[in-house]
């Protein structure tokens, strides 16, 4: 609990930039807390966080949080540093083509301010930081989908001094990765879980242009779905709580334990941070006693059902509860009658003025939250609080409807107000910093450029398939390149099957974006075996793939769309890593394409004309029938398929830009991809049909333009 004028708790001395910060050097893991606004920052610092991560008004992967200005950051930094608390700036949104050179100004300011680290996702920031701001410490975001030691190694080569691992890893996988790497590792221990792997979710972007990779996710996985007669929150995840596992996790080579929640209230964070601080500091003899005390603190913090997440034995049962609402918080009442702005509410739990409520429809659709100003009895008498079982009147500026649930997502903490005043009393003047990068034209001109265009000249078509059986007819097509998914069955089949020299010259192995730690050795050896036999063209779809290739200069490497390339600096980083070709992000817009087309590029851009990507890619298997449609309350339709231990969920239509091919050619693009490697079973069009569409610049009905005609984020 935040206490007015209470002394700050003692915080251990830790090294922020040297080897002494490594857990292997005998220092306990850092407790890292979020802050979406200043009261949350105060709560995190006062209740024992070793470090706080926060976003700025721009380029934050929690765009709907209040976030901070640079001038505010200039005050918070010395305030935190006086208490030996670090501040990490979450600059973890993808950069669009228009963000250059504006990003250079922002990096200049953060470098001048000497922030303790940046949390980043976009490969372009790695490139720019190394070239122009080498003093900036970089932490690789969980949005980079690093789920094996190969990915950690590659991010370390790129300049990351810490890697935030994917949330989808179990205890043994984290242990194995920690044993096989050297750079600092960070894991999530508390907070919300996404249904999809972070960095691989396209659902919010595909349906409405609100990209989760740019911090604008509208949480489509939290909706109630219907499949046949069954209804449920099939994709909504419970919240992670690793509190009982902290003693075991402390034994691993982990640099930081991270709490999720930049959208959470100060009251919530005060309880959660204090709970984890208690358990982290508890001596072995008092662990059980302290754990009980910490659990009582968590009980005061509204949340979804708390689970061990991917640390549990039965992951699906622990994380997915389809009969439960997807909302975070406590269901305190239900709207029974609406009379203008006055509503009658049947209370399930006690309610007080100052409580923050979020309405939720029976389908799980969340609405804007509001604060309870007053509570009136059914007889019209003002109440200090409403009791469980009572019916009371509330007033709300938010439009409410009968039968909507009211979810408590926070409570007023009277002592938390005035945080800025208290901080300014101690730090009246913030740090000085520059607001402009001095030589933007030089940086623009200094980006690496292609030394030559595509060797054959003219226009190149690439066709990508998933099944080896489709390869023969694909090789008979006019495609310049033919890609085949490098699944185990395909790799083993082609280890016995010969291709001619001409066929090898057109053939590209496409590596899957998810390769578990236990499969690393298999793929590492397979890549080496095929490269030694002159299979020199590969599409890489995760940063870990780079770790398997030596002597990249003699190879022909493509970066796949999963690496989310949509700006000049990102292409420069891929070129430095050895790629000659880049499949641009599927989320890219027309405006971005126009900007890129007029710029000198470091890799050859590839435009995807047709694709049917999974909008969700998950380790969680929902209680849904495969290949049978399921729908949202707005009648948006999806299909579910399971392959191996992974769930893939597809929209009911592909992305198709074939009828915009003349426009794309007019922009100057000459390399195009038809991706038939993914999509709901039995619904992909025939290759011949798509080739005909290419010739006629025609797209079939029931398709999506994805973000082509939307504004860039």
What pLDDT does residue 325 have? 67
- Say if residue 63 is in the same domain as residue 177: yes
Q: How many domains does the chain have?
A: 4
Nearest CA-CA partner of 131 in 440, 451, 435: 440
Kindly state whether residue 1 falls inside one of the protein's structural domains. Answer: no
Q: Are residues 241 and 223 in the same domain?
A: no
User: Residue 292 pLDDT more than 60?
Assistant: yes
Which tens digits make up the pLDDT trace of 568-621?
999 999 999 999 999 999 999 999 999 999 988 999 999 999 999 999 999 999
Whether 105 and 228 share a structural domain: no
Which distant-in-sequence residues (6+ apart) come within 8 Å of 221 by Cβ? 194, 195, 196, 203, 235, 236, 237, 326, 616
What's the longest Cα–Cα distance across the chain?
A: 88
Cβ contact 33:52 at 8 Å = yes
pLDDT at residue 441 in the model: 85
Mean pLDDT of 185-192: 97
Q: Which residues pair with 102 in a beta bridge?
A: none
463 with 588, same domain?
yes
Same domain, 530 and 667: yes
| Residue 671: its H or E element | strand 671-676
In the listed set 599, 623, 653, which residue is the last one of a domain according to the structure?
653
Q: Would you say 662 and 687 are in contact if contact means Cβ atoms under 8 Å apart?
A: no
308 and 334 belong to one structural domain: no
Same domain, 378 and 486: no
Distance of alpha carbon 617 from alpha carbon 624, whole angstroms: 15
Average pLDDT over residues 20-42: 79
User: Of 399, 416, 433, which residue sits at a domain end?
Assistant: 416
User: Which of 363, 384, 416 corresponds to the end of one domain?
Assistant: 416
Task: Kindly state whether residue 437 falls inside one of the protein's structural domains.
Answer: no
**Cβ 185 vs Cβ 140: under 8 Å:** no
**Composition of the chain by helix, strand, coil, percent to 5:** 35, 25, 45
Average the pLDDT over 188-212 and give the result: 93
Q: Is residue 17 scored above 50 in pLDDT?
A: no
Read off the CATH number of the domain in which 355 is found.
2.40.30.10
Asked if residue 285 and residue 229 are part of one domain, the reply reads no
Looking at residues 623-634, what average pLDDT do you find?
93
**Residue 339 confidence (pLDDT) above 70:** yes
Per residue in 394-449, pLDDT tens?
988 888 999 998 988 776 654 446 899 999 999 999 999 999 999 888 888 888 88
Percent of the chain's residues with pLDDT above 70: 92
Gap between the Cα atoms of 144 and 166, Å rounded:
8
Strand partners, 606: 583
Q: What is the pLDDT of residues 645-703, one digit of tens each?
A: 999 999 999 999 999 999 999 999 999 999 999 999 999 999 999 999 999 999 988 99
What's 245's DSSP letter? G
| Lowest model confidence (mean pLDDT) among 17-26, 86-95, 143-152, 371-380 | 17-26
Of 28-32, 193-197, 397-401, 560-564, give the lowest mean pLDDT range: 397-401
Residues 626 and 596 in one domain: no
Q: What is the pLDDT of residue 627?
A: 83
Residue 475 covered by a domain: yes
In a domain, 250, yes or no: yes
Per DSSP, the three-state class of 655 is: strand
Domain that holds residue 567: 458-611+656-696
| Residue 167 and residue 89 share a domain | yes
Residue 65 pLDDT exceeds 60 = no
> What pLDDT, on the 0 to 100 scale, is given for residue 238?
94
* Residue 458 confidence (pLDDT): 83
- What's the gap between Cα 369 and its chain centre? 24
Task: Check whether 63 has a pLDDT greater than 60.
Answer: no
Alpha helices in 536-660 (DSSP H): 568-576, 590-597
Answer yes or no: is 433 within a domain. no
pTM over 0.75: yes
The answer to whether residue 435 sits within a structural domain is no
Residue 110 and residue 39 share a domain: yes
pLDDT the model gives residue 263? 84
Residue 79's nearest CA partner among 37, 124, 45 is: 45
Q: What is the CATH number of the domain that holds 155?
A: 3.20.20.70
Q: Same domain, yes or no, for 35 and 103?
A: yes
What is the arithmetic mean of pLDDT over 270-291?
95
pLDDT, residue 713, reads 63
Q: Is 601 helix (H, G, I), strand (E, B) or coil?
A: coil
* pLDDT at site 10: 39
Q: Does 52 map to a domain? A: yes
Sign of the Cα pseudo-torsion (511, 513, 514, 516, in order): positive
In the chain, the N- to C-terminal Cα span, in Å, equals 37
Q: Is residue 440 part of a domain?
A: no
Average pLDDT of the residues in 529-541: 96
Number of H helices, E strands in the chain: 21, 33
Residue with tokens 């007053």: 374
């Amino acid at each position: 609990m935040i206490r007015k004028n209470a002394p700050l708790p003692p915080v251990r001395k830790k090294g922020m930039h040297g080897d002494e910060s490594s857990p292997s050097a005998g220092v306990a893991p850092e407790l890292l807390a979020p802050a979406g606004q200043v009261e949350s920052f105060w709560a995190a610092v006062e209740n024992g966080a070793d470090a706080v991560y926060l976003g700025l008004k721009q380029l934050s992967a929690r765009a709907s949080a209040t976030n901070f200005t640079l001038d505010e950051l200039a005050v918070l930094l010395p305030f935190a540093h006086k208490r030996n608390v670090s501040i990490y700036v979450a600059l973890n949104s993808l950069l669009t083509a228009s963000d250059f050179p504006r990003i250079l100004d922002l990096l200049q300011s953060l470098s001048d301010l000497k922030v303790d680290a940046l949390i980043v996702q976009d490969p372009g920031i790695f490139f720019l930081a190394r070239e122009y701001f080498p003093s900036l410490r970089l932490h690789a975001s969980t949005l980079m989908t690093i789920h094996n030691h190969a990915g950690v190694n590659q991010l370390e080569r790129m300049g990351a001094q810490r890697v935030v691992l994917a949330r989808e890893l179990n205890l043994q996988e984290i242990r194995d990765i920690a044993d096989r790497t050297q750079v600092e590792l960070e894991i999530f221990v508390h907070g919300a879980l996404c249904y999809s792997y972070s960095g691989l979710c396209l659902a919010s972007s595909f349906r409405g242009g609100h990209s989760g990779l740019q911090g604008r996710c509208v949480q489509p996985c939290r909706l109630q779905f219907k499949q046949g007669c069954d209804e449920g929150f099939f994709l909504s995840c419970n919240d992670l709580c690793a509190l009982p596992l902290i003693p075991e996790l402390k034994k691993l080579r982990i640099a930081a334990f991270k709490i999720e929640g930049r959208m959470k209230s100060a009251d919530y964070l005060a309880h959660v941070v204090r709970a984890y601080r208690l358990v982290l500091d508890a001596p072995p003899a008092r662990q059980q006693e302290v754990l009980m005390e910490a659990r009582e603190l968590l009980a005061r913090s509204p949340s979804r059902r708390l689970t061990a997440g991917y640390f549990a034995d039965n992951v699906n049962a622990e994380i997915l509860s389809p009969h439960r609402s997807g909302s975070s918080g406590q269901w305190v009442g239900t709207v029974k009658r609406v009379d203008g702005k006055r509503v009658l509410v049947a209370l399930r739990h006690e309610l007080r003025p100052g409580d923050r409520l979020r309405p939720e429809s029976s389908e799980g659709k969340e609405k804007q939250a509001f604060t309870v100003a007053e509570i009136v009895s059914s007889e019209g008498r003002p109440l200090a609080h409403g009791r469980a079982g009572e019916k009371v009147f509330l007033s709300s500026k938010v439009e409410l409807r009968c039968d909507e649930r009211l979810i408590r997502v926070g409570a007023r903490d009277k002592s938390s107000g005035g945080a800025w005043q208290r901080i300014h009393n101690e730090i009246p003047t913030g740090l000085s910093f520059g607001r402009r990068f001095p030589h933007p034209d030089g940086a623009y001109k200094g980006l690496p450029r292609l030394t030559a265009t595509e060797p054959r000249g003219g226009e190149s078509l690439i066709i990508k398939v998933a099944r080896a059986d489709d390869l023969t007819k694909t090789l008979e097509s006019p495609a310049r390149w033919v890609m085949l998914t490098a699944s185990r069955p395909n790799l083993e089949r082609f280890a016995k099957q010969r291709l001619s020299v001409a066929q090898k010259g057109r053939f590209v192995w496409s590596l899957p974006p998810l390769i578990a730690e236990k499969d690393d050795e298999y793929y590492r050896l397979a890549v080496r075996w095929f490269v030694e036999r002159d299979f020199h063209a590969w599409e890489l779809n995760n940063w870990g793939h780079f770790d398997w290739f030596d002597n990249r200069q003699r190879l022909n490497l493509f970066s796949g769309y999963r690496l989310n390339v949509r700006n000049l600096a990102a292409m420069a980083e891929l070129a430095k890593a050895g790629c000659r070709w880049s499949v641009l992000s599927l989320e890219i817009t027309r405006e971005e394409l126009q900007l890129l087309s007029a710029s000198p590029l470091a890799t050859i851009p590839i435009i995807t004309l047709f694709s049917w990507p999974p909008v969700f890619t998950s380790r969680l298997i929902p209680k849904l029938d495969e290949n049978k449609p399921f729908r949202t309350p707005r009648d948006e339709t999806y299909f579910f398929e399971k392959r191996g231990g992974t769930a893939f969920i597809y929209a009911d239509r592909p992305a198709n830009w074939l009828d915009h091919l003349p426009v794309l050619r007019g922009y100057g693009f000459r390399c195009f991809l038809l991706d038939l490697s993914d999509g709901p079973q039995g619904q992909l069009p025939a290759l011949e049909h798509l080739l005909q569409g290419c010739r006629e610049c025609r797209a079939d009905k029931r398709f999506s333009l994805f973000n082509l005609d939307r504004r860039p984020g």
